[in-house]
Structure 1
Amino acid sequence: MTIATHSFAQQPVKTDKDSVKAVQDSIKKKVFVKNIGNGYLPFNYFNLDLRYLIKFNQYEGFRTGLGGITNNRFSERYRVNGYLVYGVRDKRLKYKIGGGFRVNEASNTWVNLDYVDDLQETGSSKFLTDKRFFTFFEPRLLNIDLFHRHITKSIALQHKVSNHLLSESQIALSKINPTYNYTYVLGEDSYKTYDLSTAKVSLQWSPFSHYAIINDKIKETKDGYPKFTLQLTQGFKSIFGSDFNFSKLDFRTLQKFYHKNDAITSITFVAGIAGGDTPLTHLYHAYPNNITKETILQRFSVAGLNSFETMYFNEFFSDKFSTLQLKHTFKPFKITERFKPQLVLISRYAVGEMKSIRRHQGIEFNTLEKLYSESGVEINKLFFGFGLSFAYRYGSYHLPKLEDNMAFKFTFNISL
């Protein structure tokens, strides 16, 4: 009897508390991995933003700093965010201070206020409604050298019209100072720096996504395609000292086809048009990602996710443009359990125009009146997420020297 009792005492008994604790630990691990996948390292009351730890570009050299945002443990109604970074080559601090408060939980309506003193790539255009995107490093950023400094004060309203339609509106005041030799000539006036007052409205429509109520919250259960994003920007002259009056309309649609053999075909169409008195900083490039160097090996770098690998940086600018990108991703080749390389076929096209080229002084560039074409192939996940990419430029903008039309790079694809 004593032996039986002793044996029973050595066996751990799982109680309801143990089961609950195990479930809670599992949930915590999932939340932690999700946060890391989104680029956050969670702490008690705030999440450290991994995007600001270290980066590199051709203007700042290494860029390093800290940033973060408060989480739900701090408050579910208020949030504070910001960052402070330093560029080693330009020897300047950049920072952002921001915050927001929730107006309505059901529609996820937030009012956000930000003050930013930082750099932005000239010719880049971002949608307000884009979800946060995190990658361990940004391929195009490594080779970008054309930035303008901006000091921007903004107030924005983030609102979910419905599960399928997201909106964000923003009013901003900006002081723009190009870091390169550039003068915008408008009539008898010349501007090396300028002030802008802008209003933006951005809409993202996902009509084919599916949603369900999970743990009393509405969550997306199926990422449906196509998706559509539309953004209108209006610049107002003479309001708060603004120098220019202009309008911009940006559009993007994404489509994916999932085949029975596990292959995926992706189509991305992007278009933009700017009218009025729009300086180069707020016009469009076509996502170039090729360094201006003599040989193909000297240009060896990292391929981007949606960039033109054979188009040289600062080669083209437009006030009206459109791009079409086609990707076909084959089912991974299962060589071994761990070695599963993946073949991707890619074709990209761009067209655009520029009406008032003479307004932009101090910088030389070409225009895209004819169709720009490139095609290529990627073999991804050859070694620890690394792969290889090759692209070839052909058609109207084919260059005389054969090697100058080629881009050979490595890729990096990893997901948590």
Structure 2
Amino acid sequence: MLKRFFALILLCISFCALAQIDPENNSEEQAKEKTKDSLKKRVFLENIGLGYLPTKYFNFDLRYLVKFNQFEGFRTGLGGITNDGFSEKFRVNGYLVYGFRDKDSKYSIGGGFRVNEQTDTWVNLTYTDDLQETGSSKFLTDKRFFSFFEPRLLNIDLFHRHITKSVSLQHRVTNHLLSETEFAVSRVNPTYNYNFLYNGDTFNTFNLSTAKLSLQWSPFSKFEIIDRRVEEKIDGYPKFTAQVTQSISRLFNSDFNFTKLDFRTIQQIDHGNQSLTRLTLVGGLSSGETPITHLYHAYPNNIRKETIMQRFSVAGLNSFETMFFNEFFSDRFATFQFKHYLKPFNVSRRFRPQMVLISRYALGNMRSIDQHQGISFGTLDKLYSESGFEINKLIFGFGLSFAYRYGGYHLPILEDNFAFKFTFNLSL
């Protein structure tokens, strides 16, 4: 009897509480909750797409979990950056990784503080002890890109170790023009047999003090302000990126004086029905005393094996599939890539493979090859040409690619001019 009495009391209290609820207010509250949930979901998916696993105060960086290359073997670790839940005015970032083949740790630690919210201006400080691919070049203003794994990274074997202290300034000049300036002091140590000859001296390790200015101009993109932040809503083309690097000798014991100019433009033509054409022009010029670590390759992606099937690996996104690793280096070069994406084949609702027609060209040269001792390579003074196709999205993001090398660098053994590989195009 007592239990029934208490149950009746609770039922009355519940009824009275429900009677106090205004249906309109309840509807508004539900709408607000749905909006909040939708915003949280969007932010979560955006972070995952950039390779971050967000938590309340810290976003874990998925790029450092597992990688593989020919020098380190498997490389694994943890990294991340603080988010707005921690602070909207300053941030801390870093990573720690370990290579199982070279049995060595690498790390980076840094932080930044925001100077101006309206122009998204940040000052950053970073200390890094890590590896970098020799001959690679990266624009400071490039957007962060994440994929489950980086296909080309699997076969890279030519790295140099660097300890770099840097200070940089990120600034949005306008919505269409991004800038980043960096000053860095580095100690560079090639992990392979290499000597750089300069003024009668031989350098196998060296110090560099460099200043960089990078600009990215997207004149045809459309932007919106979302949650007090400017976001690119329509990705307009063409896009232009330029960067100048100056190494200053004798500043902080820097050994060499050289200048680098880098440029890239991307044009994309949408034909509708998921058919589009993408054109990419990249160029670089280095003058002065530049060691091979800071010169250019054309992003080769072919390993030196005897047969086609032994060379079977994974194709890169914008690499030369028939060009062997470490085959060419240049102090001035240009590449042009043409990709035409055909309308996907509508085999079924879930199975819609897509064919991509590809042609790539590279041209370059080097003034003083004799300065670079211990490593043999050619130049691109003849036009390097390759063409082929990809059939993507066959199964689980995987597809197949075929490329053929012809023209000035056609090889005497016919089989050596072919590249047959997997493709992988599934990114978050």
TM-score interval w.r.t. the shorter chain? over 0.9
Alignment-derived partner of residue 41 in structure 2: 29
Aligned to 1:157: 169
1:279 aligns with 2:291: yes
Counterpart residue identity of residue 354, structure 2: Q
Partner of 2:8: none
What do the CA deviations read for 1:230-278 (whole angstroms, capped 9, x no partner)? 0000001111000000000000000000113431000000000000000
1:360 paired residue number: 372
Q: CA deviation at 1:216?
A: 3.8
Superposition deviation, residue 383 in structure 1: 0.3
> 1:262 matched to which residue of 2?
274
Question: Is the deviation greater in 384-393 or in 218-227?
Answer: 218-227
Q: Are 2:393 and 1:381 aligned?
A: yes
Secondary structure in 1 matching 2:252: coil
Equivalent residue in structure 2 for 1:148, among 160, 176, 189: 160
Distance 1:215 1:268 in 2: 33
**Equivalent-residue separation in structure 1 for 2:398 and 2:61 (angstroms):** 24
**1:336-347 map, 5 Å:** 336-347=348-359
Matched residue SS, 2:272? coil
Alignment deviations for residues 326-374 of structure 1 (CA, whole Å, 9 cap, x no partner): 0000111111110010000000000000100000000000100000000
| Aligned twin of 1:38 | 50
TM-score normalised according to structure 2 size: 0.93
2:65 aligned partner: 53
2:339 counterpart (323, 327, 330): 327
Give the structure-1-normalised TM-score.
Answer: 0.96
Q: Secondary structure at the match of 2:363?
A: strand
Q: Quick check: 2:148–2:427 contact (8 Å CA) kept in 1?
A: no
The within-5 A match list for 1:161-240 is 161-240=173-252
Percent sequence identity over aligned pairs: 69
> Structure 2 CA distance, aligned partners of 1:213 and 1:48?
26
Q: For residues 169 and 340 of structure 1, what CA distance do their matches in structure 2 show?
A: 43
What are the superposed Cα offsets for residues 175-234 of structure 1, whole Å, 9 maximum, x if unpaired? 000000000011210000000000000000011111123344332221100000000000
**Offset of 1:381 from its aligned partner?**
0.2
Structure 2 partner of 1:135: 147
1:80 match:
92
**Contact kept? 2:177, 2:216, Cα under 8 Å:** yes
Larger radius of gyration: 2
Give CA-to-partner distance per residue, 1:76-118, whole Å, 9 cap, x none: 1100000000000000000000000000011111000000000
The amino acid of 2:45's aligned partner reads V
d(CA) in 1 for partners of 2:270, 2:168: 36
Quote the RMSD (CA, aligned, Å): 1.6
Structure 1: stretches of 5+ with no match in the other structure: none
In structure 2, distance between residues paired with 1:41 and 1:341: 30
- Cα distance, 1:34 vs structure 2: 1.3
**2:417 equivalent among 405, 409, 414:** 405
Aligned residue type for 2:138:
K
One-letter amino acid of the structure 2 residue matched with residue 103 of structure 1: V
Amino acid aligned to 2:283: A
The equivalent residue for 2:102 is 90
Write the distance in 1 (CA, Å) between the matches of 2:203 and 2:230.
Answer: 49
Counterparts of 1:407 and 1:415, CA distance in 2: 24
